[in-house]
Amino acid sequence: MPQAAVVIVNFNAGAMLGDAVASVVEEVDRVVVVDNASRDGSAEEVARRWRGDRRVAVIARGDNGGFAVACNEGVRALGWGSGASGAADHGEDAVLFLNPDARCLPGCVASLLGELRSDPRIGAVGGMLVDAAGRELGGARRSAPSPWPAFVRATGLWRLSHRWPRAFPDFHQMHAQVPSGPQDVGSVSGACLMVRRRAFEQVQGFDEQYFLHCEDLDLCARVLEAGWRIRFAPGARAWHAVRGTTGGRTWATEWHKHRGMVRYYRRHLGGSHAAPVRWFISCAVWARFAVVGPCSIVSSLQRRARRAQSVAPTRLEPAPCLGTTLSCRHGCASSSPPLRP
């Protein structure tokens, strides 16, 4: 029976990349790591660790083309689609996109694959993202955003949803009770996303106009528009280190995130919604960026200062010399030559 392949896009994930590969390599046919010009040696370490293992391949890109570009390149390396790189097609019927700062917990891959195969109409399945304490993280289950929930999320008013859920609906569903079994949702997280091959090829993969953030929302929206279903499988759990590869909230990360939000809303709130509505939401997104952008710069400077303090050299007093008669470079007297520094 055809199995699944895994694509992991890496950018300076450090030791977490190897942990991500190790969490899935025994449960799938192949793992493709696409490295976006990392400088920390993480991709080279994976290549050394699995040298000679045909299940693991590392593709080194010369530049950082973004998440969507690298995901599509990894899929082509599997031999899928008309733009395949020439690699042998092993006939996998599903691909799991896994973040390099995530780890599939035991049974995760099998649960995702089982749910995907439970109904031929299911195009994509996402797992539950959890932290080290097992608490659910955001983004793993979301409804398809309509104009008002989109505005609430774009402006940060979603923080009021726990008090007034009807007035300020949040399309992120992490605050709702975890379902007892799989359920249909509007979108799932690209940090742990399994897509049926036919669905992925039908929508022609990720939209490469997204660099970072919102490309998973866009893919899910197009999968739904193509007539497929999207499922959230709470039994498939993956640990995720939030912002594990972006180094925390940076200006560049926020820029790409907000740019992606504008592109998503313009594309998927079009047609049935008036142009003023789309314009209003776009303005709200950029207004939010005007606030969080400068804050991200301050946060980056603070993190840099803390790192500098943690590695600052400690000033040491010169060690006393032994002896009493010969002069050393510290001005001490010694009866024998001083020890070489």
- 3-class secondary-structure state, position 295: helix
The model scores a pTM over 0.95: no
Structure tokens at 44: 């080279």
pLDDT per position as a tens digit, 135-154: 999 889 988 767 777 778 76
DSSP 214: S
The CATH code of domain 4-241 reads 3.90.550.10
Task: Identify the pLDDT of residue 235.
Answer: 96
The DSSP line for 9-39 is: EESS-THHHHHHHHTTTTTSSEEEEEE-S-S
pLDDT per position as a tens digit, 27-40: 999 999 999 999 99
Q: What's the mean pLDDT in 226-254?
A: 83
Encode burial over 20-47: b for 16+ CB neighbours within 10 A, e otherwise. Answer: bbbbbbebbbbbbbbbbebeeebbeebe
**% of the chain at pLDDT higher than 70:** 82
Contacts of 218 (CB under 8 A, 6+ apart): 206, 207, 210, 263, 264, 267, 268
Sign of CA dihedral 81, 187, 138, 271: positive
Q: How far is CA 95 from the centre of its chain?
A: 16
pLDDT confidence band for 9 (50 / 70 / 90): very high
- Cβ pair 149, 171 in contact under 8 A: yes
Q: How far is CA 319 from the centre of its chain?
A: 50
Task: Identify the pLDDT of residue 158.
Answer: 78
The candidate with the shortest Cα–Cα distance to 66, out of 9, 131, 143, 141, is 9
